[in-house]
Protein backbone atom coordinates (compact mmCIF):
# COMPACT_ATOMS: atom_id res chain seq x y z
CA UNK A 1 0.00 0.00 0.00
CA UNK A 2 1.18 3.54 -0.76
CA UNK A 3 0.60 6.66 1.28
CA UNK A 4 0.37 10.27 0.18
CA UNK A 5 2.80 12.61 1.83
CA UNK A 6 2.92 16.39 1.66
CA UNK A 7 4.91 19.13 3.37
CA UNK A 8 5.15 19.28 7.12
CA UNK A 9 2.65 21.56 8.82
CA UNK A 10 3.35 25.26 8.27
CA UNK A 11 1.30 28.46 8.52
CA UNK A 12 2.41 29.52 5.05
CA UNK A 13 1.03 26.46 3.25
CA UNK A 14 -2.03 26.53 0.99
CA UNK A 15 -3.57 23.57 -0.81
CA UNK A 16 -5.58 22.62 -3.86
CA UNK A 17 -6.80 19.34 -5.25
CA UNK A 18 -5.66 17.69 -8.49
CA UNK A 19 -7.93 15.76 -10.86
CA UNK A 20 -6.86 12.57 -9.10
CA UNK A 21 -8.10 13.95 -5.78
CA UNK A 22 -4.60 14.40 -4.37
CA UNK A 23 -3.52 17.63 -2.72
CA UNK A 24 -0.98 20.00 -4.23
CA UNK A 25 0.52 22.43 -1.73
CA UNK A 26 2.23 25.80 -1.98
CA UNK A 27 4.73 27.08 0.56
CA UNK A 28 5.76 30.70 0.92
CA UNK A 29 9.45 30.96 1.73
CA UNK A 30 10.20 32.75 5.01
CA UNK A 31 13.35 34.65 6.00
CA UNK A 32 14.93 31.64 7.70
CA UNK A 33 14.72 29.60 4.50
CA UNK A 34 15.92 32.36 2.17
CA UNK A 35 19.12 31.56 0.32
CA UNK A 36 18.63 27.79 0.65
CA UNK A 37 18.95 25.46 -2.33
CA UNK A 38 15.63 24.18 -3.63
CA UNK A 39 16.59 20.51 -3.16
CA UNK A 40 17.52 21.04 0.48
CA UNK A 41 14.30 22.99 1.09
CA UNK A 42 12.24 20.11 -0.31
CA UNK A 43 14.14 17.44 1.62
CA UNK A 44 13.34 19.29 4.85
CA UNK A 45 9.63 19.57 4.01
CA UNK A 46 8.97 16.20 2.39
CA UNK A 47 9.79 14.04 5.38
CA UNK A 48 10.56 10.44 4.51
CA UNK A 49 10.65 10.95 0.75
CA UNK A 50 13.85 9.44 -0.74
CA UNK A 51 16.27 12.01 -2.12
CA UNK A 52 16.21 10.29 -5.51
CA UNK A 53 12.48 10.97 -5.75
CA UNK A 54 12.92 14.59 -4.65
CA UNK A 55 15.32 15.13 -7.55
CA UNK A 56 12.93 13.31 -9.89
CA UNK A 57 10.00 15.62 -9.16
CA UNK A 58 12.28 18.65 -9.59
CA UNK A 59 13.54 17.44 -13.00
CA UNK A 60 10.02 16.55 -14.14
CA UNK A 61 8.76 20.08 -13.46
CA UNK A 62 6.26 19.02 -10.80
CA UNK A 63 7.97 21.39 -8.38
CA UNK A 64 7.57 25.04 -9.32
CA UNK A 65 8.98 28.27 -7.91
CA UNK A 66 6.78 31.30 -8.57
CA UNK A 67 4.93 29.19 -11.19
CA UNK A 68 8.12 28.51 -13.14
CA UNK A 69 10.34 25.45 -13.46
CA UNK A 70 13.47 25.46 -11.32
CA UNK A 71 16.58 23.33 -10.91
CA UNK A 72 17.82 21.59 -7.77
CA UNK A 73 20.48 24.25 -7.16
CA UNK A 74 18.07 27.19 -7.47
CA UNK A 75 18.41 29.50 -4.47
CA UNK A 76 14.99 30.39 -3.05
CA UNK A 77 14.32 33.84 -1.61
CA UNK A 78 11.92 35.34 0.93
CA UNK A 79 8.42 35.51 -0.51
CA UNK A 80 8.97 32.90 -3.21
CA UNK A 81 6.04 30.50 -3.61
CA UNK A 82 7.06 26.86 -4.03
CA UNK A 83 4.62 24.32 -5.48
CA UNK A 84 4.91 20.90 -3.83
CA UNK A 85 3.17 17.99 -5.55
CA UNK A 86 1.71 15.13 -3.50
CA UNK A 87 4.21 12.28 -3.31
CA UNK A 88 3.37 8.61 -2.95
CA UNK A 89 5.60 6.61 -0.63
CA UNK A 90 5.35 3.01 0.49
CA UNK A 91 4.20 2.00 3.96
CA UNK A 92 7.74 0.84 4.67
CA UNK A 93 9.20 4.25 3.88
CA UNK A 94 6.43 5.98 5.84
CA UNK A 95 7.14 3.82 8.89
CA UNK A 96 10.85 4.64 8.58
CA UNK A 97 10.06 8.37 8.44
CA UNK A 98 7.89 7.99 11.54
CA UNK A 99 10.88 6.59 13.44
CA UNK A 100 13.27 9.55 13.51
CA UNK A 101 16.95 9.41 14.30
CA UNK A 102 17.79 8.96 17.98
CA UNK A 103 18.53 12.32 19.56
CA UNK A 104 22.18 12.87 20.36
CA UNK A 105 24.33 15.74 21.55
CA UNK A 106 28.01 15.95 20.58
CA UNK A 107 30.98 17.54 22.38
CA UNK A 108 30.88 21.30 21.84
CA UNK A 109 33.84 23.50 20.94
CA UNK A 110 31.71 26.62 20.49
CA UNK A 111 28.04 27.58 20.73
CA UNK A 112 26.22 30.91 20.52
CA UNK A 113 23.04 32.23 18.91
CA UNK A 114 24.47 31.88 15.40
CA UNK A 115 26.65 28.78 15.33
CA UNK A 116 27.63 25.49 16.93
CA UNK A 117 31.02 23.85 16.48
CA UNK A 118 31.00 20.19 17.47
CA UNK A 119 33.79 17.66 17.83
CA UNK A 120 32.56 14.90 15.51
CA UNK A 121 33.70 11.37 16.31
CA UNK A 122 34.93 9.07 13.54
CA UNK A 123 32.45 6.57 12.13
CA UNK A 124 29.48 8.96 12.24
CA UNK A 125 28.11 10.36 8.98
CA UNK A 126 27.28 14.07 8.96
CA UNK A 127 23.88 13.40 7.33
CA UNK A 128 21.69 10.52 6.19
CA UNK A 129 21.85 9.08 2.68
CA UNK A 130 23.93 6.62 0.62
CA UNK A 131 22.90 3.68 2.78
CA UNK A 132 23.05 5.65 6.05
CA UNK A 133 19.68 6.22 7.76
CA UNK A 134 20.77 9.29 9.70
CA UNK A 135 23.78 11.33 10.66
CA UNK A 136 24.94 14.11 12.94
CA UNK A 137 22.48 16.72 11.70
CA UNK A 138 19.41 14.49 12.03
CA UNK A 139 20.46 13.47 15.55
CA UNK A 140 21.02 17.09 16.57
CA UNK A 141 17.61 18.13 15.25
CA UNK A 142 15.97 15.32 17.18
CA UNK A 143 17.85 16.24 20.36
CA UNK A 144 16.86 19.91 19.96
CA UNK A 145 13.24 19.92 18.75
CA UNK A 146 12.76 23.59 19.66
CA UNK A 147 15.63 24.79 17.48
CA UNK A 148 14.26 26.88 14.61
CA UNK A 149 17.10 25.91 12.29
CA UNK A 150 20.09 23.58 12.35
CA UNK A 151 22.03 23.22 9.10
CA UNK A 152 25.45 21.86 8.21
CA UNK A 153 27.86 24.61 7.17
CA UNK A 154 30.27 22.11 5.60
CA UNK A 155 30.90 18.36 5.61
CA UNK A 156 33.39 15.79 6.84
CA UNK A 157 33.82 12.24 5.59
CA UNK A 158 32.22 9.64 7.82
CA UNK A 159 35.63 8.21 8.74
CA UNK A 160 37.08 11.65 9.59
CA UNK A 161 36.87 13.08 13.12
CA UNK A 162 37.12 16.68 14.26
CA UNK A 163 35.59 20.13 13.92
CA UNK A 164 32.19 20.40 12.25
CA UNK A 165 30.25 23.69 12.02
CA UNK A 166 26.44 23.82 12.29
CA UNK A 167 24.50 27.04 11.65
CA UNK A 168 21.58 28.05 13.87
CA UNK A 169 20.53 30.96 11.65
CA UNK A 170 20.14 31.17 7.88
CA UNK A 171 22.17 34.40 7.78
CA UNK A 172 25.05 32.70 9.61
CA UNK A 173 24.90 29.71 7.27
CA UNK A 174 25.20 31.90 4.17
CA UNK A 175 27.91 34.12 5.69
CA UNK A 176 30.24 31.28 6.65
CA UNK A 177 29.56 29.23 3.50
CA UNK A 178 30.52 32.31 1.47
CA UNK A 179 33.81 32.36 3.38
CA UNK A 180 34.43 28.71 2.49
CA UNK A 181 33.57 29.43 -1.15
CA UNK A 182 35.90 32.45 -1.30
CA UNK A 183 38.72 30.51 0.47
CA UNK A 184 38.66 32.91 3.42
CA UNK A 185 38.63 30.11 6.00
CA UNK A 186 41.52 28.05 7.26
CA UNK A 187 40.86 24.28 7.43
CA UNK A 188 43.78 22.25 8.70
CA UNK A 189 43.80 18.50 9.29
CA UNK A 190 46.23 16.12 10.97
CA UNK A 191 47.04 13.07 8.84
CA UNK A 192 49.43 10.20 9.43
CA UNK A 193 50.86 8.95 6.14
CA UNK A 194 53.02 6.07 5.07
CA UNK A 195 56.75 6.72 4.64
CA UNK A 196 58.80 9.88 4.99
CA UNK A 197 57.12 12.88 3.38
CA UNK A 198 59.51 14.93 1.18
CA UNK A 199 60.42 18.16 2.95
CA UNK A 200 60.23 20.16 -0.29
CA UNK A 201 56.75 18.95 -1.23
CA UNK A 202 54.58 21.67 0.31
CA UNK A 203 51.90 22.30 -2.33
CA UNK A 204 49.79 19.82 -4.29
CA UNK A 205 47.92 21.51 -7.14
CA UNK A 206 46.26 18.66 -9.01
CA UNK A 207 42.76 18.52 -10.45
CA UNK A 208 40.38 15.84 -9.20
CA UNK A 209 37.75 13.90 -11.11
CA UNK A 210 34.81 12.09 -9.49
CA UNK A 211 33.57 8.80 -10.91
CA UNK A 212 31.47 5.78 -9.90
CA UNK A 213 32.56 2.18 -9.47
CA UNK A 214 30.41 -0.55 -11.10
CA UNK A 215 28.55 -1.01 -7.80
CA UNK A 216 27.70 2.71 -7.73
CA UNK A 217 30.18 3.69 -5.02
CA UNK A 218 31.77 7.11 -5.43
CA UNK A 219 35.52 7.47 -6.05
CA UNK A 220 37.91 10.28 -6.93
CA UNK A 221 41.13 10.27 -8.94
CA UNK A 222 43.82 12.79 -9.85
CA UNK A 223 43.63 14.14 -13.39
CA UNK A 224 45.38 16.85 -15.37
CA UNK A 225 44.53 20.49 -14.81
CA UNK A 226 43.57 20.62 -18.50
CA UNK A 227 40.89 17.93 -18.06
CA UNK A 228 37.49 19.62 -18.69
CA UNK A 229 35.90 17.24 -16.17
CA UNK A 230 38.55 17.91 -13.52
CA UNK A 231 38.11 20.31 -10.61
CA UNK A 232 41.19 22.28 -9.62
CA UNK A 233 42.22 21.27 -6.10
CA UNK A 234 44.93 22.77 -3.89
CA UNK A 235 46.37 21.19 -0.75
CA UNK A 236 49.13 22.65 1.45
CA UNK A 237 51.30 20.21 3.40
CA UNK A 238 53.59 20.78 6.40
CA UNK A 239 55.51 18.12 8.28
CA UNK A 240 54.42 18.12 11.92
CA UNK A 241 56.50 15.17 13.12
CA UNK A 242 58.60 12.42 11.58
CA UNK A 243 58.04 8.98 13.05
CA UNK A 244 59.31 5.50 12.28
CA UNK A 245 58.15 4.56 8.75
CA UNK A 246 55.48 7.28 8.75
CA UNK A 247 54.96 11.06 8.94
CA UNK A 248 52.44 13.16 10.83
CA UNK A 249 51.32 16.02 8.58
CA UNK A 250 49.43 19.28 8.97
CA UNK A 251 47.31 19.49 5.84
CA UNK A 252 45.48 22.68 4.88
CA UNK A 253 42.97 22.59 2.05
CA UNK A 254 42.35 25.66 -0.07
CA UNK A 255 39.56 23.89 -1.98
CA UNK A 256 36.99 21.54 -0.51
CA UNK A 257 36.71 18.70 -3.01
CA UNK A 258 35.37 15.23 -2.22
CA UNK A 259 38.11 13.04 -0.67
CA UNK A 260 40.65 15.75 -1.59
CA UNK A 261 43.22 15.11 1.15
CA UNK A 262 43.00 11.34 0.86
CA UNK A 263 43.50 11.31 -2.91
CA UNK A 264 46.15 14.04 -3.03
CA UNK A 265 48.35 12.40 -0.39
CA UNK A 266 47.94 8.92 -1.89
CA UNK A 267 48.80 10.27 -5.36
CA UNK A 268 52.22 11.26 -3.99
CA UNK A 269 52.90 7.71 -2.81
CA UNK A 270 52.09 8.49 0.83
CA UNK A 271 48.56 7.19 1.60
CA UNK A 272 46.83 7.94 4.88
CA UNK A 273 47.06 5.25 7.55
CA UNK A 274 43.87 3.21 7.71
CA UNK A 275 42.30 4.64 4.53
CA UNK A 276 40.15 1.80 3.19
CA UNK A 277 39.48 3.50 -0.17
CA UNK A 278 42.80 4.96 -1.31
CA UNK A 279 45.27 3.45 1.13
CA UNK A 280 47.83 0.64 1.18
CA UNK A 281 45.64 -2.30 2.14
CA UNK A 282 48.46 -4.57 3.34
CA UNK A 283 49.83 -1.77 5.50
CA UNK A 284 46.35 -1.15 6.87
CA UNK A 285 46.12 -4.79 7.97
CA UNK A 286 49.40 -4.44 9.84
CA UNK A 287 48.20 -1.21 11.45
CA UNK A 288 45.03 -2.90 12.71
CA UNK A 289 47.13 -5.53 14.45
CA UNK A 290 49.03 -2.68 16.11
CA UNK A 291 45.81 -1.12 17.38
CA UNK A 292 44.87 1.46 14.71
CA UNK A 293 41.26 0.59 13.84
CA UNK A 294 40.31 3.72 11.87
CA UNK A 295 41.62 6.17 9.29
CA UNK A 296 44.13 8.64 10.72
CA UNK A 297 42.58 11.88 9.45
CA UNK A 298 41.38 14.51 11.91
CA UNK A 299 39.92 18.00 11.31
CA UNK A 300 42.22 19.70 13.80
CA UNK A 301 41.98 23.48 13.29
CA UNK A 302 39.38 25.79 11.76
CA UNK A 303 39.68 29.55 11.28
CA UNK A 304 36.84 31.79 10.12
CA UNK A 305 35.26 35.19 10.69
CA UNK A 306 32.28 35.08 13.01
CA UNK A 307 29.13 36.09 11.10
CA UNK A 308 27.68 38.13 13.99
CA UNK A 309 30.70 39.72 15.69
CA UNK A 310 33.12 40.00 12.76
CA UNK A 311 35.90 38.60 14.97
CA UNK A 312 38.38 36.06 13.64
CA UNK A 313 37.76 32.71 15.35
CA UNK A 314 40.26 29.88 15.68
CA UNK A 315 39.02 26.51 16.92
CA UNK A 316 41.14 23.46 17.69
CA UNK A 317 40.21 19.86 18.36
CA UNK A 318 42.77 17.64 20.07
CA UNK A 319 43.61 14.29 18.54
CA UNK A 320 41.06 11.69 19.69
CA UNK A 321 42.46 9.25 22.27
CA UNK A 322 42.64 6.34 19.81
CA UNK A 323 44.83 8.36 17.41
CA UNK A 324 47.02 9.80 20.15
CA UNK A 325 47.53 6.31 21.57
CA UNK A 326 48.75 5.09 18.20
CA UNK A 327 51.19 8.01 17.88
CA UNK A 328 52.51 7.19 21.35
CA UNK A 329 52.84 3.54 20.32
CA UNK A 330 54.92 4.44 17.26
CA UNK A 331 57.11 6.77 19.31
CA UNK A 332 57.74 4.09 21.92
CA UNK A 333 58.90 1.68 19.22
CA UNK A 334 61.39 4.20 17.82
CA UNK A 335 62.80 5.24 21.23
CA UNK A 336 66.16 3.53 21.83
CA UNK A 337 66.32 1.46 25.02
CA UNK A 338 68.11 3.02 27.97
CA UNK A 339 71.50 1.58 28.83
Which positions are annotated as active-site residues?
157
Q: What is the DSSP letter of 247?
A: E
DSSP helix/strand/coil, 59:
helix
Q: What is the DSSP letter of 231?
A: B
Q: How far is CA 335 from CA 240, 257, 296, 309, in A?
A: 18, 38, 22, 47
- C-alpha torsion sign, points 57, 62, 63, 69: positive
Closest-CA residue to 86 (of 161, 160, 25, 176): 25
State how far the Cα of 159 lies from the Cα of 327, in Å rounded to an integer. Answer: 18
State how far the Cα of 81 lies from the Cα of 79, in Å rounded to an integer. Answer: 6
253-260, Cβ contacts within 8 angstroms, sequence gap of 24 or more = 253/187, 253/189, 254/183, 255/183, 255/231, 256/154, 256/180, 256/187, 257/208, 257/220, 257/231, 257/233, 258/208, 258/210, 258/218, 258/220, 259/157, 259/208, 259/219, 259/220, 260/208, 260/220, 260/233, 260/235
State how far the Cα of 71 lies from the Cα of 37, in Å rounded to an integer. Answer: 9
Sort 279 into a burial class: Cβ within 10 Å, 0-12 / 13-18 / 19+. buried
Closest-CA residue to 263 (of 215, 204, 214, 212): 204
Q: What is the DSSP letter of 74?
A: P
Those residues whose C-beta lies under 8 Å from the C-beta of residue 68, and which sit 6 or more positions away, are none
Q: What is the DSSP letter of 4?
A: E
Amino acid sequence: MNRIIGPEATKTATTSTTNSGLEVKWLTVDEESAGQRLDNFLIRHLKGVPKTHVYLIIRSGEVRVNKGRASADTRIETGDVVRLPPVRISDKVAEKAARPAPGREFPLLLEDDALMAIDKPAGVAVHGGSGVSFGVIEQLRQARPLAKLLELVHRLDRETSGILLVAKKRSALKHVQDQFRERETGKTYLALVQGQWPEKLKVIDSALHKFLLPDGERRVRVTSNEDPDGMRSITLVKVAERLEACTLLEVTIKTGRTHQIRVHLASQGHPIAGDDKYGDFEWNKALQKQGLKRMFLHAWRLQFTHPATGKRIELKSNLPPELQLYVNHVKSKSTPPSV
